[in-house]
Amino acid sequence: MTELHPKRWTALVVLSASLLLVTMDMTILNVALPQISADLRPSAVELLWMIDVYSLVVAGLLVTVGALGDRWGRKRMLLCGFAVFGLASAVIVWADSSIDVIAVRALLGIGGAMIMPSTLSMIRNIFTDPRERATALGVWAAMAAVGSALGPIVGGLLLESFSWHTAFLVNVPVMVIAIAAGLFLLPESRNPTPGRWDALGTALSIVGMVALVFAIKHLATEGLDAWTAGSAALAAGTLTWFVRRCLRCPDPLLEIRLFGNGAFTAGTLAAFTTSIALAGMMLLMVQWAQLVQGYSPLQTGLAMLPMAVGAGVLSPAAPAIAARIGARPVLAGGLVIAALGFVVLWLAPTTFPWVATSLTLIGAGMGTLAIASAAIMSGTPAEKAGSSAAIEETSYEIGGTFGVAVLGSLAAVLYRAELPANATEAVRESLGGALALARESGATDLVAQATLAFTESLQATSLYGAILMLVAALAVWRLTPARLDLATAHH
């Protein structure tokens, strides 16, 4: 019997609180953007980079940082991540141009990439008892879900009274506390037998991941042009080379061979699909709340709360349910519950009670991500924890990017299809553009036309979301071993 770490639950508090902040930071910017735009007047390209640079940096660095943490020490990597995140947040005080904000967001991305896989791999190493580990991962997954829903609420509250700088500055005191607590409460852990560092593999992973995320984002905003095709080709080439290199190497940068384990693959697929649904849904629901319903940023944040409630209730309970009925029904069932949330949005009238029901179901479906994490970690030897954490975090990151790009683009296409043939370019571009034009010209019929087109496109997109979740549920069911018991998996 492995000796249990005495401070494991207090360590979990530190790890969960830091993750809560990082996930909050991803969504807090959405609320601050209008103020930043009014203050700094960024060009359309600069505005896009403000939003995108964070996920580009995180996606590019996750693999490298996960492998570095395994070698160098996961606690050390996490504390450095806290420091980078805190410093970047403090520097915002001096930011007085769009380029400054982009640079700060890039620095936050570096910090975020250091924090996220480290929290997961440390849970894998601190909680040696698989049943306790499943519970700890339930808390971890709940924090991730609650954080992304709290971002707009905290952002909205701060911006009611203060300038947009506070959306960044709020991180500083929390990071100071996290460093102090982490120094005393977290144990150090690393891979006892690290091989030689693969410099070429590092370069390939960074170039490949950045190119992939850039291609997806560019496709969503500009469509299929030379930039999209070029970056997609670069991503395909470098990532194929990277995967082949990892498969040949005895001690690779990323343990691709983990995908040979059905539970690991099922967990990763569940994480990826859920992330697509969550990010795509948040994007469309925030637009619906602000543009169709006319909510303020704070009201919009509060309107998204049912999703956090659904996830917050189910995430900590999921391991106990899995212990009773098995991991496979919980993992696939969560995706089916999320699909039901999309079905409600597709069939029911788009009024707040129905939207809240839909968001609660999608959130509850996300709650099973605790089991996805446990399945991923159960299929991983302790010394490879950083590698598996990097794979899980990368699947979230790319899933989120994909969700915004694919579901966002699909909604835009369906919105245009619902408009009358004589609609002007500004109206066809977006609902925001249509409403701005209506305000200028006083055309009230245009407002009704555009909001109806948007609502109908939202309902149609939900049908595709439901289909995606059901296909993923079927794949996860087939991939997960029928007798997978998370309580007896990998010690």
d(C-alpha 394, C-alpha 378), whole Å: 18
What is the model's pLDDT at position 491? 41
CA-based radius of gyration for the chain: 22
Pick the CATH number of 8-195+251-479 from 3.90.1150.10, 3.50.50.60, 1.20.1250.20, 1.10.3720.10: 1.20.1250.20
More confident residue, 193 or 281: 281
Segment 2-14 shows an average pLDDT of 80
Tokens representing 160 are 């009611």
- Residue 229 predicted with pLDDT over 70: yes
Predicted confidence band at 110 (pLDDT cuts at 50, 70, 90)? Answer: very high
**pLDDT tens track for 128-144:** 887 888 888 888 888 87
Predicted confidence band at 105 (pLDDT cuts at 50, 70, 90)? Answer: very high
**pLDDT tens track for 377-434:** 877 777 777 788 888 888 888 888 888 878 888 888 888 888 877 777 777 777 777 7
**pLDDT tens track for 336-377:** 999 999 999 999 988 899 999 999 999 898 887 778 888 888
430 vs 41, 279, 437, 454, CA distance in Å? Answer: 20, 19, 11, 9
**pLDDT tens track for 209-223:** 989 988 888 887 777
Per-residue burial over 10-23, b = 16 or more CB atoms within 10 Å of its CB, e = otherwise:
ebbebbbbbbbbbb
d(C-alpha 130, C-alpha 142), whole Å: 18
- Cβ-contact 89, 115 below 8 angstroms: no
d(C-alpha 90, C-alpha 112), whole Å: 15
**pLDDT tens track for 380-391:** 777 777 788 888
